[in-house]
């Protein structure tokens, strides 16, 4: 709706067009700031003009070594160089393959092999993992390092400078490289397992059309804190592309332990988060209120404030000044995505004067499908469907709930080299099957559940339980095993991956095993040794009875008690 538009919509033919546009439009306005040393280091700043120039240089050098049309694997921490690499690869028609730096080297190598990678770019301290990839995959060049010294071999910094010199002599390699914005630009793997995850094929047009549509409805501030991992489309699309379109500065966080200090120092005006961050902030605020004896006063003030707001009197920034101070004093809005948000937390932040906009997306849609808007936020929903998409509900039940189907330019091209999975993912009339259940009220989506068994952790990480179950199902003494996210009674931050086992009692008895938990623990520990951190099993449950099943003997997961202490 026009009366909800806060920013004029700007559209781009390809990523290079965006780079040139933000360099000319925002010029010396800051695009990025960060510290190399989080404790003693000086703040380094990069303007949009500098970002454009660095992209021009690196893109020119990438074209020179043959990256156009080739697959470039990228993994490392959130950094300015990561963002430059993102824009540069796409600006010369390369194919970016972002991977999770926390994966085991073997997992990275297997996925790079599946992707048929040609080049590898990563942080210097991840060189050992890059070498494992190089041993498995026939790369066209040795790995390049994002944060290596300028004069060191295979440094991205050196590539930028070399490319700038070439660009100054001739810009043809940069400007004349043909980009097909409708073809594969970003290859994103949906699972952190060795070659088992699907490769989602996204075009440049998918990402650009998605972000151009979203940002016009959101009241972004002039500065934010960069927290989200960039190998996820939520991180890269919103933090890199979205903020380049809107012209907001991103201060790159040095990590979890520095966030509270950085918030106070940098004074961001908005934050892009996953629910785990929101819950942590919420708990810290309440804990501080209890410690200072102001807990009851805080909630009395919320009641008074909410009453006054009914009459158009908004005193939230004054009444809750101490809460705002914890975020630097200027945060006016938080956008959360990647997992469901507890409604109580959204209500709390709204009550103290920080607008909380929940959204809905999926990697296959680049990623945003719906998001609450600054001028239209619907409680309990994930917001209105973005303007470029058509959404319908498939096989509605009596409550209007069914599978959410999406069609639009932001939808993926398909799954990499998996024609069957691609065919299964679309309806005959071209709608993408999200695998999520929900309902539509007007143009607003309400998520009511997950169709599949995918575990979406509060930090946005995805865990496919069947993969873990398959790895452990052959363990002697296991008859049935189900893996899930245990819901802690102490709150979301205490949730954990649970392996619930129905043991072969006859086997245990014959082996003289009386303590089933102690018997299975070494097997679980052995699995955990090689598992990615967020896929480690931390709770083992032993069942006395077999799992509930339907007439086809399939386990009914929704009937399992998934609560933990």
- Please spell the DSSP secondary structure of 198-223, one letter per residue: -EEEEEHHHHHHHHHHHHTTS---SE
Residue 507 CB-density burial (10 A; 0-12 exposed, 13-18 middle, 19+ buried): middle
Identify the pLDDT of residue 193.
29
Identify the pLDDT of residue 551.
36
- CA 207 → CA 43, 72, 83, 202, 410, distances in Å? 30, 18, 15, 7, 6
- CA 412 → CA 47, 116, 201, 403, 432, distances in Å? 32, 19, 6, 18, 9
Of the candidates 28, 18, 406, 443, the one whose C-alpha atom is nearest the C-alpha of residue 217 is 443
Identify the pLDDT of residue 152.
74
DSSP-derived letter for residue 394 is: E
Q: Is 169 helix (H, G, I), strand (E, B) or coil?
A: helix
Instruction: Confirm if 358 and 378 have CB atoms less than 8 A apart.
Output: no
Of the candidates 423, 487, 435, 422, the one whose C-alpha atom is nearest the C-alpha of residue 464 is 435
Q: What residues are paired with 270 via a beta bridge?
A: 224, 333
Identify the pLDDT of residue 490.
85
Q: How far apart are CA 167 and CA 172, in angstroms?
A: 8
Q: How far apart are CA 187 and CA 184, in angstroms?
A: 7
Terminal CA-CA length for the chain: 46
All residues at 6 or more sequence positions from 328 whose CB lies less than 8 Å from its CB, including other chains: 263, 264, 265, 266, 267, 268
Identify the pLDDT of residue 450.
62
- CA 496 → CA 274, 296, 342, 499, distances in Å? 17, 31, 17, 10
Phi, psi angles (nearest 5°) of residue 524? -65, -40
Identify the pLDDT of residue 482.
92
Q: What residues are paired with 249 via a beta bridge?
A: 223
Most distant CA pair in the chain, distance: 79
Of the candidates 306, 297, 365, 311, the one whose C-alpha atom is nearest the C-alpha of residue 337 is 365
For the stretch 310-313, contacts whose Cβ atoms lie closer than 8 Å and that sit 24 or more positions apart, written own/partner, are: none
Q: Is 480 helix (H, G, I), strand (E, B) or coil?
A: strand
All residues at 6 or more sequence positions from 410 whose CB lies less than 8 Å from its CB, including other chains: 206, 207, 209, 210, 365, 366, 368, 369, 386, 388, 389
Identify the pLDDT of residue 192.
38
Identify the pLDDT of residue 552.
35
Parallel, antiparallel, or unpaired: how do β-strands 563-564 and 478-488 relate?
Answer: parallel
Q: Find how far residue 559's CA is from the centre of its chain.
A: 30
Instruction: Confirm if 406 and 365 have CB atoms less than 8 A apart.
Output: yes
Q: How far apart are CA 301 and CA 287, in angstroms?
A: 17
All residues at 6 or more sequence positions from 82 whose CB lies less than 8 Å from its CB, including other chains: 74, 76, 146, 230
All residues at 6 or more sequence positions from 398 whose CB lies less than 8 Å from its CB, including other chains: none
Q: What angle do CA 158, 163, 168 make, to 5 degrees?
A: 135
All residues at 6 or more sequence positions from 457 whose CB lies less than 8 Å from its CB, including other chains: 276, 339, 463, 485, 495, 534
DSSP-derived letter for residue 325 is: H
Identify the pLDDT of residue 286.
83
Instruction: Confirm if 433 and 362 have CB atoms less than 8 A apart.
Output: no
Helices 343-351 and 295-309 cross at an angle (nearest 10°) of 80
**For the chain, what percentages of helix, strand and coil (3-state, to nearest 5) are there?**
40, 25, 40
Identify the pLDDT of residue 469.
84
Q: How far apart are CA 206 and CA 2, in angstroms?
A: 23
What is the mean pLDDT for each group of 10 consecutive residues in the chain (565 residues)? Answer: 86 98 98 94 96 98 98 97 98 97 93 97 97 97 90 89 97 96 96 60 98 96 95 95 98 93 96 84 83 91 96 95 94 86 85 95 96 94 96 89 94 97 96 92 86 72 77 84 90 89 89 94 94 92 87 68 90
Residue 293 CB-density burial (10 A; 0-12 exposed, 13-18 middle, 19+ buried): exposed
């Amino acid at each position: 709706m026009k009366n909800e538009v806060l920013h004029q919509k700007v559209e781009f033919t390809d990523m290079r067009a965006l780079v040139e546009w933000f360099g000319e439009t925002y010029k010396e306005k800051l695009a990025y700031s960060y510290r190399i040393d989080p404790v003693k280091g000086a703040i380094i700043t990069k303007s949009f003009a500098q970002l454009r120039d660095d992209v021009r240089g690196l893109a020119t050098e990438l074209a020179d070594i043959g990256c156009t049309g080739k697959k470039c694997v990228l993994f490392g921490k959130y950094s300015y160089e990561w963002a430059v690499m993102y824009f540069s690869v796409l600006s010369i028609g390369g194919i970016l393959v972002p991977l999770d730096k926390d994966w085991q080297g073997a997992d990275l190598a297997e996925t790079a092999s599946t992707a048929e990678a040609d080049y590898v770019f990563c942080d210097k301290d991840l060189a050992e993992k890059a070498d494992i990839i190089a041993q498995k995959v026939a790369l066209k060049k040795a790995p390049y390092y994002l944060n290596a010294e300028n004069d060191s071999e295979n440094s991205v910094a050196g590539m930028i400078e070399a490319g700038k010199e070439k660009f100054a002599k001739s810009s043809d390699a940069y400007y004349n490289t043909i980009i097909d914005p409708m073809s594969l630009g970003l290859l994103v793997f949906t699972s952190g397992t060795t070659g088992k995850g699907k490769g989602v094929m996204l075009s440049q047009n998918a990402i650009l059309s998605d972000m151009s549509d979203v940002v016009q409805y959101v009241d972004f501030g002039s500065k934010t804190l960069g927290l989200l991992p960039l190998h996820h489309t939520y991180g890269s699309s919103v933090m890199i592309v979205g903020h380049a379109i809107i012209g907001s500065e991103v201060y790159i966080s040095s990590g979890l332990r520095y966030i509270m200090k950085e918030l106070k120092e940098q004074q961001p005006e908005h934050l892009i988060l996953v629910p785990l961050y929101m819950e942590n902030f919420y708990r810290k605020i309440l804990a501080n209120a209890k410690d200072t004896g102001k807990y009851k006063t805080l909630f009395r003030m919320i009641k008074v404030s909410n009453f006054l707001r009914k009459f158009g009197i908004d005193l939230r920034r004054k009444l809750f000044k101490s809460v705002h101070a914890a975020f630097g004093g200027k945060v006016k809005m938080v956008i959360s995505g990647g997992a469901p948000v507890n409604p109580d937390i959204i209500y709390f932040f709204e009550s103290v004067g920080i607008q909380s906009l929940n959204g809905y997306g999926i990697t296959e849609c680049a990623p945003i499908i719906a998001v609450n808007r600054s001028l239209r936020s619907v409680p309990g929903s994930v917001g209105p469907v973005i303007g470029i998409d058509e959404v319908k509900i498939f096989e509605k039940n009596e409550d209007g709930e069914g599978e959410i189907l999406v069609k639009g330019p932001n939808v993926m091209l398909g799954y990499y080299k998996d024609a069957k999975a691609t065919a299964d993912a679309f309806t005959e009339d071209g709608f993408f099957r999200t695998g999520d259940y929900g309902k539509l009220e007007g143009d607003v989506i309400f998520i009511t559940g997950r169709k599949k068994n995918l575990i979406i952790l509060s930090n946005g990480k995805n865990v496919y339980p069947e993969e873990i179950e398959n790895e452990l199902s052959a363990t002697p003494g296991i008859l049935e095993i189900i893996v899930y996210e245990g819901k802690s009674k102490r709150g979301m931050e205490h949730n954990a991956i649970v392996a619930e086992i129905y043991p072969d009692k006859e086997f245990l008895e014959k082996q003289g095993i009386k303590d089933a938990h102690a018997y299975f623990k070494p097997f679980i520990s052995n699995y955990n040794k090689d598992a990615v951190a967020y896929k480690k099993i931390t709770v083992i449950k032993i069942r006395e009875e077999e799992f509930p099943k339907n007439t086809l003997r399939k386990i009914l997961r929704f009937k399992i008690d998934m609560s933990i202490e």
